[in-house]
């Protein structure tokens, strides 16, 4: 968990990006003493022989040194998706309205998710599919686009000031990511900005993060959001009544499930004006790319005629087809481990 994220240039990236890195790192290093990991080295091109078989990779080290890596058995591309590459996302997009998915959308990804593996494979004739749909993450911080985290169960999303729905709910907060993002584009503010409100629980103003998260009373929230206090209060009370009476499905904007109230209440049932709420500023950002290289079940990369490109394999988010149109959260890590193992077995058995 302690690995920093970083770029080839040596620049550190905020966040614990290396969480998943420790396991494969140890596995690779322990598997064979000859194994080498070249960090801060960028693959630029696949090397092919006269028959078109992939026999290696050209790369450039952080100090500009060019290297060529020979692959006797094959090359496995595991270069991830292209969610950070907004140009590629928009160029291939055929799902989101172009007025919603715009070049200034932020990303939950590091600047390394540029789709370079896809481009390198395309240069040797690889086919792609499913690149028309990029998964957007509704829970991105409005200032950086990084993952804010959380779930939709015990929160409400309301439209910000300046919109026709200001201060009111507009979506089932437990819905799928694409539904939540479309709701944010339709009922949110600039770039799909929306406001999440939940009960502060044991959080205090000490937890405030400028521009992102505020622990505050209803009055303070209304002032900060420039929204009508009564409108927000009515939204919360109507929602909380539905939670108490198990009638969430009867709300004007129905909700699938919730187990906790948003507001704080006095013993006589009246709204506790001094009770604390947690207010977060969120917006959709590009998150995961379901499309990519076409592979067969052995993880061989296929060309446009459906034939394997000899010596070329791919695993993980660089490939297409596993998640269809909308990946369910949590499944990508399982997929990358399984597909990586299959690709590894295939390349060693020359399948
Ligand atoms: C913030 C965030 C949270 C997520 N949380 C979850 C979760 O909880 N559960 C889940 O299942 N999924 C989650 N996902 C999705 C999941 O993490 C990714 O789908 C998965 O990490 C993809 O794995 P990968 O190995 O294919 O690619 P990556 O993890 O993206 O790794 C690709 C690697 O290739 C390197 N690379 C790229 N181009 C080159 C090049 N030209 N030369 C050399 N190296 C290159 C990159 O630097 C990177 O290290 C999350 C994604 C994000 C962005």
Q: In the prediction, which pLDDT does 324 show?
A: 74
pLDDT digits (tens, 9 = 90+) for 82-101: 999 999 999 999 999 999 99
Separation CA 122–CA 320 (nearest Å): 13
Closest by CA to 126, choosing from 136, 113, 117, 134, is 117
Residue closest via CA to ligand 1's atom 7 equals 330
Residue closest via CA to ligand 1's atom 16 equals 332
How many angstroms is it from 18 CA to the middle of ligand 1?
A: 10
Residue 16 reports pLDDT greater than 60 = no
Is any ligand 1 atom within 6 A of the Cβ of residue 332?
yes
Q: For the purposes of burial, counting CB atoms within 10 Å of the CB of 42, is it exposed (0-12), middle (13-18) or buried (19 or more)? A: middle
Looking at residues 170-199, what average pLDDT do you find?
97
Looking at residues 137-159, what average pLDDT do you find?
95
Is any ligand 1 atom within 6 A of the Cβ of residue 140?
no
Residue 252 reports pLDDT greater than 50 = yes
Residue 1 reports pLDDT greater than 50 = no
More confident residue, 11 or 148: 148
How many angstroms is it from 228 CA to the middle of ligand 1?
A: 42
Separation CA 58–CA 103 (nearest Å): 31
Residue 192 reports pLDDT greater than 60 = yes
Residue closest via CA to ligand 1's atom 47 equals 112
166 strand-pairing partners: 159
Q: In the prediction, which pLDDT does 19 show?
A: 52
Q: In the prediction, which pLDDT does 328 show?
A: 82
Index of the ligand 1 atom closest to the CA of residue 316: 26
Separation CA 171–CA 260 (nearest Å): 18
Is any ligand 1 atom within 6 A of the Cβ of residue 48?
no
Q: In the prediction, which pLDDT does 228 show?
A: 98
pLDDT category at 5 given cuts 50, 70, 90 is: low
Is any ligand 1 atom within 6 A of the Cβ of residue 269?
no
CA 82 to centroid of chain Cα atoms: 11
Residue 2 reports pLDDT greater than 50 = no
Q: In the prediction, which pLDDT does 255 show?
A: 97
Active site residues: 177
Contact 136, 286 (CB under 8 A): yes
pLDDT digits (tens, 9 = 90+) for 97-138: 999 999 999 999 989 899 999 999 999 999 999 999 999 999
pLDDT digits (tens, 9 = 90+) for 297-342: 999 999 999 999 999 999 999 999 888 777 888 889 889 989 999 9
Residue 24 reports pLDDT greater than 70 = no
pLDDT category at 28 given cuts 50, 70, 90 is: confident
Is any ligand 1 atom within 6 A of the Cβ of residue 7?
no
Residue whose structure tokens are 């302690």: 2
Q: In the prediction, which pLDDT does 232 show?
A: 98
Q: Which ipTM score applies to this complex? A: 0.99
Separation in Å, CA 237 to CA 41, 218, 295, 312, 316:
55, 12, 52, 58, 45
Looking at residues 36-65, what average pLDDT do you find?
94
pLDDT category at 17 given cuts 50, 70, 90 is: low
Name the average pLDDT for the chain: 92
Index of the ligand 1 atom closest to the CA of residue 340: 25
Is any ligand 1 atom within 6 A of the Cβ of residue 85?
no
How many angstroms is it from 80 CA to the middle of ligand 1?
A: 5
Is any ligand 1 atom within 6 A of the Cβ of residue 338?
no
pLDDT category at 191 given cuts 50, 70, 90 is: very high
Q: In the prediction, which pLDDT does 32 show?
A: 79
How many angstroms is it from 42 CA to the middle of ligand 1?
A: 15
Ligand 1: residue of 10, 80, 140 to mutate (most ligand atoms within 8 A of CB) is: 80
Q: In the prediction, which pLDDT does 116 show?
A: 98
pLDDT digits (tens, 9 = 90+) for 261-296: 999 999 999 999 999 999 999 999 999 999 999 999
How many angstroms is it from 261 CA to the middle of ligand 1?
A: 36
What structural domains and CATH numbers belong to the chain?
A: 38-133+290-348 (3.50.50.60), 137-285 (3.90.700.10)
Is any ligand 1 atom within 6 A of the Cβ of residue 147?
yes
Residue closest via CA to ligand 1's atom 15 equals 332
Contact 237, 261 (CB under 8 A): no
Alpha helices in the chain (DSSP H): 22-31, 86-92, 116-123, 177-187, 218-225, 229-244, 331-348
Index of the ligand 1 atom closest to the CA of residue 120: 41
* Structural tokens at position 265: 């209440």
Separation CA 316–CA 78 (nearest Å): 6
Residue 206 reports pLDDT greater than 80 = yes
């Amino acid at each position: 968990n302690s690995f920093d994220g970083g770029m080839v240039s040596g620049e550190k990236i905020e966040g614990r990006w290396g969480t998943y890195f420790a396991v494969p790192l140890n596995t690779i290093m322990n598997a064979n003493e000859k194994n080498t990991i070249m960090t801060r080295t960028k693959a630029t091109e696949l090397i092919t022989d006269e028959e078109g078989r992939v026999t290696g990779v050209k790369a450039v080290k952080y100090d500009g040194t060019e290297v060529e890596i020979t692959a006797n058995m094959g090359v496995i591309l595991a270069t991830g998706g292209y969610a950070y590459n907004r140009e590629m996302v928009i160029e291939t997009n055929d799902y989101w309205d172009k007025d919603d998915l715009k070049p200034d959308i932020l990303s939950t990804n590091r600047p390394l998710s540029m789709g370079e593996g896809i481009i390198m494979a395309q240069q040797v004739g690889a086919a792609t599919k499913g690149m028309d749909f990029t998964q957007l993450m509704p829970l991105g911080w409005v200032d950086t686009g990084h993952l804010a985290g959380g779930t939709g169960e015990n929160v409400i999303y309301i439209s910000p000031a300046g919109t026709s729905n200001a201060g009111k709910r507009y979506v089932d907060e437990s819905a799928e990511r694409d539904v939540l993002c479309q709701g944010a584009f339709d009922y949110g503010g600039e770039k799909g900005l929306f406001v999440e409100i939940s009960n502060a629980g044991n959080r205090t103003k000490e937890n405030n993060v400028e521009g992102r998260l505020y622990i505050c009373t209803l009055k303070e929230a209304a002032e900060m959001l420039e929204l009508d206090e009564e409108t927000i209060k009515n939204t919360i009370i109507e929602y909380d009544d539905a939670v108490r009476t198990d009638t969430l499905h009867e709300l004007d904007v129905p909700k699938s499930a919730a187990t906790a109230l948003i507001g704080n209440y006095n013993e006589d049932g009246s709204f506790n004006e001094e009770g604390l709420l947690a207010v977060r500023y969120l917006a959709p950002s590009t998150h995961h790319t379901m499309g990519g290289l076409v592979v067969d079940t052995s993880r061989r990369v296929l060309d446009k005629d459906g034939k394997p490109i000899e010596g070329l394999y791919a695993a993980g988010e660089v490939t297409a087809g596993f998640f269809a149109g909308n990946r369910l959260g949590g499944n990508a890590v399982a997929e990358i481990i399984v597909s990586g193992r299959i690709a590894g077995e295939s390349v060693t058995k020359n399948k």
